[in-house]
Amino acid sequence: MTNMKRIAVLTSGGDAPGMNACIRAIVLTAEHFNVSVIGFRHGYYGLLNSEHVEISTDMVSNIIQNGGTILHSARCPEFKTEKAALKAANSLDALGIDALLVIGGDGSFHGAHHLQQYWHKPVIGLPGTIDNDIYGTDATIGYFTAIETALDAIDKIRDTADAFERVFLIEVMGRHAGFIGLSASISSGADQVLLPEINNDNEAAFKNLVARIETTREKKGQCSYIVVVAENLWPGGVTALAEKINSELSIESRPVVLGHIQRGGSPSPQDRILATKLGAYAVECALQGKSGIMVGEQNQQLVEVSLPHTWQNQKPLDPYLVKIQTEFFDILE
Amino acid sequence: MTNMKRIAVLTSGGDAPGMNACIRAIVLTAEHFNVSVIGFRHGYYGLLNSEHVEISTDMVSNIIQNGGTILHSARCPEFKTEKAALKAANSLDALGIDALLVIGGDGSFHGAHHLQQYWHKPVIGLPGTIDNDIYGTDATIGYFTAIETALDAIDKIRDTADAFERVFLIEVMGRHAGFIGLSASISSGADQVLLPEINNDNEAAFKNLVARIETTREKKGQCSYIVVVAENLWPGGVTALAEKINSELSIESRPVVLGHIQRGGSPSPQDRILATKLGAYAVECALQGKSGIMVGEQNQQLVEVSLPHTWQNQKPLDPYLVKIQTEFFDILE
Amino acid sequence: MTNMKRIAVLTSGGDAPGMNACIRAIVLTAEHFNVSVIGFRHGYYGLLNSEHVEISTDMVSNIIQNGGTILHSARCPEFKTEKAALKAANSLDALGIDALLVIGGDGSFHGAHHLQQYWHKPVIGLPGTIDNDIYGTDATIGYFTAIETALDAIDKIRDTADAFERVFLIEVMGRHAGFIGLSASISSGADQVLLPEINNDNEAAFKNLVARIETTREKKGQCSYIVVVAENLWPGGVTALAEKINSELSIESRPVVLGHIQRGGSPSPQDRILATKLGAYAVECALQGKSGIMVGEQNQQLVEVSLPHTWQNQKPLDPYLVKIQTEFFDILE
Amino acid sequence: MTNMKRIAVLTSGGDAPGMNACIRAIVLTAEHFNVSVIGFRHGYYGLLNSEHVEISTDMVSNIIQNGGTILHSARCPEFKTEKAALKAANSLDALGIDALLVIGGDGSFHGAHHLQQYWHKPVIGLPGTIDNDIYGTDATIGYFTAIETALDAIDKIRDTADAFERVFLIEVMGRHAGFIGLSASISSGADQVLLPEINNDNEAAFKNLVARIETTREKKGQCSYIVVVAENLWPGGVTALAEKINSELSIESRPVVLGHIQRGGSPSPQDRILATKLGAYAVECALQGKSGIMVGEQNQQLVEVSLPHTWQNQKPLDPYLVKIQTEFFDILE
């Protein structure tokens, strides 16, 4: 295809299960095209500080199943400056890098776009975040595993919720998007879900929550009631929400914040497959000289999306899942 | 929508994780529309022999996470006759059933189509099989969990394969399709895969297998080598294939037949979500008087597919995954 | 053995994985001796309010793998009174109960002991609590699964801790005992553990924590550092501890409270086996007219321990595990 | 303690989950005593062929959770000769090794004992095998994980067995001992188990099997029936046994051979804890100059057992578990 000899890869922002599978796919595909791969450690921070390593096929031979990222990740606010981008461009040129692949989320893509103004070789983003809040790809690497981890936790909590017939408020990740929350709620059979896309009025949401719990208990008697709540929705999170319920009502509720377990774990098959496809395809795109794009998958087709499009548009929740949760399965409807 | 009062559901053919989640969604959605649900036990056999039960919402309140099917399943070859279909039609009418939902695979859909010639109310199929070999839906209920179970097993086998640097031949299910095999292979990072869609010449496949193992060991030294093999591909299965390798070559190999563990287990989130969507949508379709269709999902859209189309067409493997496995990651290429 | 015809069982206090396996063993063993089993729902509350059900072998045929308890549990502070105990005794006599088996922890055993002053038939305790804080048995039903759940969560957190080279403070359950904490710490390879049996001076513990983190980072450079913290040890829990670290030092740390996931989940093999043995043995003891005891297992032998002994003595942590964690594997030693 | 400067470790025979946790504990404990650790790769084969590597603490910092063994394993029949033992002794001396730790099973301990006749420094065995067939220690490293893997598989198979109300014959590992079989059977609630310690007459076992299935179905109607069968018990394994049932009777049965998945997987907490204790204790014993022993754990106490004792005695099954399975829970009793 081209005369490329050496490409680089880094993982940036919140780590996500499947990043290692993606690095592996990049290295194996590059080897197929006789291209070597340099990895920067600690995301853009490592790019600025020349923390790099050549990634051999041996190094990736047994990592597809591991969470985290062998390249480590970091946040790097200082990368936003012109000075940083120029330094990065010089560093890439000094190492003879022909293309840069960035695995990360929203912030990482802003960084990639910024760099591209100062470095005129292919820069390609790969969507790696558990939050799935990237427009232009049906799913992001890590999203499927995060759902699975959240579901596994909720399945466990349901056991004890059922034994004690208690109300549980379970906070899941998602940054400002409700993807994990909706999927975890539907797949766990939760009684209710509070999501940023649906619940923009907290007072109304609270009234509704109470009404549903009361109606459920009128109909079924004492029973468990599980509410999935997206992070960053209720001020103070589920701990504060549980306190409000416990103090204002005669209903006792328990908060559980799932937290960072959702970022780790062995990637699920869907994440490994997506990571492998996007990794291979990103190498192909780089070799074809494409730049300023994110590679993604839409409707089972590999696609290229302009980097700014990935953050200028908002990916909607599945409307039918919303309908099921808030209409078909809602005791008040 | 309509004046329907009572619908029926049965699970038929090989059971698949997510069937219970699907039954639950049918019952909860039906309740939303004030429709009651009758379940036939043991598939078409129960329809013929009037084994039925009214499924209350209580009965489905804690089953979304369970493998198997609360309605049990069975194979029922005698259902192919006109006599059986007429008996079933009478039975349905006697019970005042307004629509029949059939969760199953290829054979179950033939049965549904057959029945529809003799019973003139809505008959709707829902794709439930781990094999994913149904045309008209991107995935079938149970497929995602089967991949996960296969992957989990292969991840374990890789530990011991690596410790002993051994060749392992791992047989996965799929009936006559390579979906589980390809997904399990890509997601486990297997060294090679043998699939019915790719390998139609066993002798050539064998030579190729040997060549790759030998080349791999020339390049890397003694090391593990994992081959995923679809069932029904090699006569005698992986046990026979391992014997052939062990007797004809100086390479020792071990066969593992994953078998029925692939049919069970708590359904993965993707299977629960798909099952829930299709269950809800099937009820909506029934209430609208639609019949002779399978409900499915294509490119994130719910669709209706004529029953005969589901078996008259063949769903292809993802060509990019095939390319990755047989070209990009292939040591001989 | 005796003329017993009917025994009763209840689950009380915090639920624990394996309670269902224990109920199953009680019912199957009782059936072997032609004794029927009544279950009280909601612990002592159900005993007082006559919420009971005959438990058939059918009802327990597929529950060994389920967390929670089919009899539900509850706390019942009013059971401490003489009036309550007399009411319970009358209720048991009215139902023709020949013996009562109580599956629960410390509080439940106090209740059993109290009842026994007023009801003169066999009352037998079975240790069911994730906390393992019952003297007289090497392990309690639910303890092994709780370790497993905690470990699984810590394994996931290590992925993201390692990716970002962060300090994580992980709070595990255990009431006032360090069993879960010590086992989770050793099995996860955590860098440090804070337990009530070891750390009775919080200020000293804090200084030591900081010193170890700093020493570790001097020796190894930036790296992850995982601390397991027992609940009820640090005022405000790990959230407060993390805030103190973050505000007083230049080290950033993240708190994770594992919470109620530790109570649920399918019981591990060890819990199912222990629950099965103790359930069978409790029935044997009841039939022999033994009373006022807890059945337990010590050094692979089934034992009977006077109920008051179970709370009057303190079970120590494994001293060699403490030595490993705080001496052999401690970077400051 | 001593002037030891350098010890060596190897893993030999069938690999078992927890071997890496054990290597880690050896290295961390040795470091505490300022002793360096050499690892031989591929068991005794590597000792003979000088495949060795110094194991740093860095190399073991993230392996506690991994199945397999970073040192790889192998079988080495030629180690039985005097010539081999002398060569190994010379090799150990040439490397300045002060003690050798061998993690493995029966065959590995024979090798250690053999070597000790020719090399007069401490040789210590650590019991690492999933089969638990080593006398002198209550459990072996890997045993708990193997039970868990077997149980997880049987839980899945029960789903499909129950859906189709089928008879399943599930073959588990154990070499010539029934430990995995009995634990898997009790914890899965299997209907029956065939073990070498109990069933020494195959014809009688077959008749009994048939009688129980028939009696069960008379009492309960068509239902699933799960039999756990130890490997090496029935000639031709469960495949042959299923064929015999299918051909001689009107009962259809399905065989499942769990196979090598039982050797892999992330070690369970109990295996990691045992591996850590024995690893630490073995280093202590070596530094004290002890030799010719296996370190083990009996009744929660660390013990030292003469190597020949480990194979000259037979460890019995838990008699109460046998009683439960074959008497209390047996439908014919």
Q: Are strands C36-40 and C6-11 parallel, antiparallel or unpaired?
A: parallel
In a domain, D327, yes or no: no
In a domain, D320, yes or no: no
Give the model confidence (pLDDT) of A227-282 as tens digits.
999 999 999 999 999 999 999 888 889 999 999 999 999 999 999 999 999 999 99
In a domain, A132, yes or no: yes
- Contact at CB, D159 and B11, closer than 8 angstroms: no
Asked if A224 and A305 sit in the same domain, the reply is: no
- Contact at CB, B256 and D254, closer than 8 angstroms: no
Distance (Å) of CA A218 to CA A158, A212, A331: 20, 10, 11
Which of D108, D131, D173, D260 has the most B C-beta neighbours within 10 Å, making it the best mutation to test the interface with B?
Answer: D260
In a domain, C290, yes or no: yes
Give the model confidence (pLDDT) of C128-143 as tens digits.
999 999 999 999 999 9
What does the mean pLDDT of chain B come to?
96
Q: Give the per-residue pLDDT at A72.
A: 96
Which chains sit next to D, with 3 or more Cβ pairs under 8 A?
B, C
Helix B143-164 to helix B179-188 angle (10° resolution) is 50
pLDDT, block means (10 residues), chain D with 333 residues: 88 96 98 98 96 97 96 94 97 97 97 97 98 98 98 97 95 97 98 95 94 92 95 97 92 94 97 98 98 98 98 97 96 81
- Tell me the chain C residues in contact with residue A242 when contact means C-beta distances shorter than 8 Å: none
Q: Which of B131, B133, B191, B271 is catalytic?
A: B131
Confidence band (pLDDT; 50, 70, 90) for A70? Answer: very high
In a domain, A92, yes or no: yes
- Contact at CB, A270 and B144, closer than 8 angstroms: yes
Asked if A107 and A136 sit in the same domain, the reply is: yes
| Sign of the CA dihedral running D273, D278, D284, D287 | negative
Q: Which of C15, C98, C106, C131 is catalytic?
A: C131
Q: Give the per-residue pLDDT at D2.
A: 65
Closest CA to B229 of B262, B256, B265, B189: B256
- Tell me the chain C residues in contact with residue A104 when contact means C-beta distances shorter than 8 Å: none
Nearest CA in chain D to B159: D68
Last residue of a domain, one of D263, D279, D299: D263
Q: Give the per-residue pLDDT at C223.
A: 92
What is d(CA B172, CA A269) in angstroms, rounded to the nearest whole number?
Answer: 15
Asked if C279 and C242 sit in the same domain, the reply is: no
Q: Is C131 a catalytic residue?
A: yes
Question: Which one of C17, C155, C165 has the shortest CB-CB distance to A72?
Answer: C165
Asked if D137 and D23 sit in the same domain, the reply is: yes
Question: Which one of A160, A164, A263 has the shortest CB-CB distance to C160?
Answer: A263
Give the CB-side neighbour count of residue A214, counting CA atoms within 13 A. 9
In the predicted model, is pLDDT for residue A2 greater than 70? no
Asked if D81 and D209 sit in the same domain, the reply is: no
Size of interface C-D (CB pairs under 8 A): 111
Asked if D11 and D138 sit in the same domain, the reply is: yes
Stretch A189-205: mean pLDDT, rounded? 95
**Full residue range of the structural domain in which residue D56 is found:** 6-142+267-312
Size of interface B-D (CB pairs under 8 A): 103
Asked if C171 and C223 sit in the same domain, the reply is: yes
Number of domains in chain D: 2
- Contact at CB, B318 and A333, closer than 8 angstroms: no
Question: Which one of C155, C273, C328 has the shortest CB-CB distance to D280?
Answer: C328
Q: Give the per-residue pLDDT at B249.
A: 84
Residues of D carrying an active site annotation: 131
Nearest CA in chain A to C45: A164
Q: ipTM greater than 0.90, yes or no?
A: yes
* CATH value at residue D187: 3.40.50.460
Asked if C136 and C13 sit in the same domain, the reply is: yes
Asked if D174 and D136 sit in the same domain, the reply is: no
Residue D163 in tokens: 């859906």
Shortest Cα distance from C284 to chain D (angstroms)? Answer: 11
What is d(CA B310, CA B124) in angstroms, rounded to the nearest whole number?
Answer: 12
Asked if C255 and C274 sit in the same domain, the reply is: no
Asked if A124 and A208 sit in the same domain, the reply is: no
Q: Could you say which residues of chain B have pLDDT below 50?
A: none
The DSSP code for C242 is H
Q: What is the DSSP string of D226-251?
A: EEEEETTSSTTHHHHHHHHHHHHSS-
Question: Cα angle vertex B64, ends B62, B66, to 5°?
Answer: 90
What is d(CA D52, CA D95) in angstroms, rounded to the nearest whole number?
Answer: 10
Which chains sit next to B, with 3 or more Cβ pairs under 8 A?
A, D
Which residues have CB under 8 Å from C288's CB, separation 6+?
A: C1, C2
- Tell me the chain A residues in contact with residue B144 when contact means C-beta distances shorter than 8 Å: 269-270
Which of C41, C164, C167, C227 has the most A C-beta neighbours within 10 Å, making it the best mutation to test the interface with A?
Answer: C164
Q: Give the per-residue pLDDT at B188.
A: 98
C-beta separation of C30 from C57 below 8 A: no
Instruction: Provide the 3-class DSSP secondary structure of residue A193.
Output: strand
Confidence band (pLDDT; 50, 70, 90) for A325? Answer: very high
Which chains sit next to A, with 3 or more Cβ pairs under 8 A?
B, C
In a domain, D326, yes or no: no
In a domain, C321, yes or no: no
Interface of A with C (CB under 8 A): 11, 14-15, 17, 19, 66-69, 72-74, 149, 153, 155-165, 168, 254, 256-257, 259-261, 263-265
What is d(CA C274, CA C272) in angstroms, rounded to the nearest whole number?
Answer: 6
* CATH value at residue B275: 3.40.50.450
Give the model confidence (pLDDT) of A109-158 as tens digits.
999 999 999 999 999 999 999 999 999 999 999 999 999 999 999 999 99
Closest CA to B282 of B63, B106, B126: B126
Q: Could you say which residues of chain C have pLDDT below 70?
A: 1-2
In a domain, A300, yes or no: yes
Alpha helices in chain A (DSSP H): 19-32, 43-48, 82-94, 106-116, 143-164, 179-188, 202-220, 237-248, 269-287, 307-312, 319-323
Asked if D32 and D168 sit in the same domain, the reply is: no
What is d(CA D165, CA D130) in angstroms, rounded to the nearest whole number?
Answer: 31
